[in-house]
């Protein structure tokens, strides 16, 4: 069974969604982040993906008190990203209750440091966040591209026991046009020891079903939920039928 991981992006303590990572293309929703985690837990979801967009701008987690409240919801684990650029930042989110810490830019620009964190905090907790545009890895809120591919990153950290990678296709993120199925199927086939999470473009339950048919293991769903294209009841029924 593929694991459905709902996404919550946070600015100013509220749920938002961006299109292609652009802060100027922001939609703010009325939903309270903690309430959303509770609603997902009621659907049988076991993991929620949270991006601290304030923290990403500040280069240090900015919503730790909110993380503590989200992590206190029974039955759900929180994976947290945004601003994890130092050991102190990683420790702060772990101490605040995050079960998983997502590291993106540092993994690309200071790979030795991320390798150290894999060893220090454990491969069961550290998640490689790889954002890709036209085959190249993008960093710093997708503003810069580096001369690396997703394969370069994965190969760099396999010797350190990397087991979890969230790969976001920037061109699809927030666009509700379907994910890059071929990319994820290839990555999962090439690196079976790593769980790749499909991120960007999920627009319907059909996209999730297709991902499972391709033997993909995890999928992040964000805007499709907030825009009503995927109902929480559909997620609940899917999780129940496959558990």
**151 catalytic per annotation:** no
Give the strand pairing for 14-19 and 144-145. Answer: unpaired
Identify the CA nearest to 217 among candidates 187, 175, 173. 187
Ranges of the chain with pLDDT below 50: none
What whole-number distance in Å separates Cα of residue 173 and Cα of residue 150? 17
Residue 51 · residue 42 · CB < 8 Å: no
pLDDT tens readout for residues 7-40: 999 999 988 876 666 666 667 777 899 999 999 9
pLDDT of residue 134: 79
Rounded to two decimals, what is the model's pTM?
0.93
Q: 35 catalytic, yes or no?
A: no
Catalytic pick from 9, 52, 169, 173?
A: 9
Exposed (0-12), middle (13-18) or buried (19+): which is 29, by Cβ within 10 Å? middle
**Catalytic hit among 22, 52, 124, 131:** 131
- E strands, 64-211, in order: 77-81, 100-103, 126-133, 136-139, 144-145, 164-169, 195-199
Q: Which residues 6+ apart lie within 8 Å of 125 measured at CB?
A: 94, 99, 100, 101
Distance CA 6, CA 54 (A): 19
Query: Domain containing 96 — which CATH number?
Result: 3.20.20.70
Classified as helix, coil or strand, 59 is coil
How many domains are there within the chain? 1
Q: What is the pLDDT of residues 167-200, one digit of tens each?
A: 998 876 655 678 999 999 999 999 999 999 999 8
Both tokens of residue 133? Answer: 């545009």
Domain holding 85, by residue range, is: 3-241
């Amino acid at each position: 069974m593929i694991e459905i991981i709902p996404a919550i992006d946070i600015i100013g303590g509220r749920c938002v969604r961006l299109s292609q990572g652009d802060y100027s293309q922001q939609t703010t929703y009325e939903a309270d982040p903690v309430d959303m985690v509770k609603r997902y837990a009621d659907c049988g979801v076991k993991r929620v993906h949270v991006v601290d967009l304030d923290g990403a701008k500040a280069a240090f987690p900015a919503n730790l008190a909110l993380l503590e409240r989200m992590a206190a919801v029974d039955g759900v684990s929180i994976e947290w990203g945004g601003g994890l650029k130092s050991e102190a930042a990683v420790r702060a989110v772990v101490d605040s209750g995050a079960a998983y810490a997502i590291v993106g830019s540092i993994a690309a620009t200071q790979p030795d440091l991320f390798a150290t964190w894999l060893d220090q905090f454990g491969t069961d907790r550290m998640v490689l966040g790889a954002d890709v545009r036209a085959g190249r890895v993008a960093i710093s809120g997708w503003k810069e591209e580096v001369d690396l591919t997703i394969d370069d990153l994965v190969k760099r950290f396999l010797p350190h026991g990397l087991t979890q990678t969230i790969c976001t296709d920037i061109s699809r993120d927030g666009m509700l046009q379907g994910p890059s199925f071929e990319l994820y199927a290839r990555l999962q086939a090439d690196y079976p020891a790593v769980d790749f999470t499909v991120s960007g473009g999920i627009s319907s339950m059909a996209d999730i079903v297709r991902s499972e048919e391709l033997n993909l293991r995890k999928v992040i769903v964000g805007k499709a939920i907030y825009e009503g294209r995927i109902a929480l009841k559909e997620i609940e029924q899917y999780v129940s039928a496959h558990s």
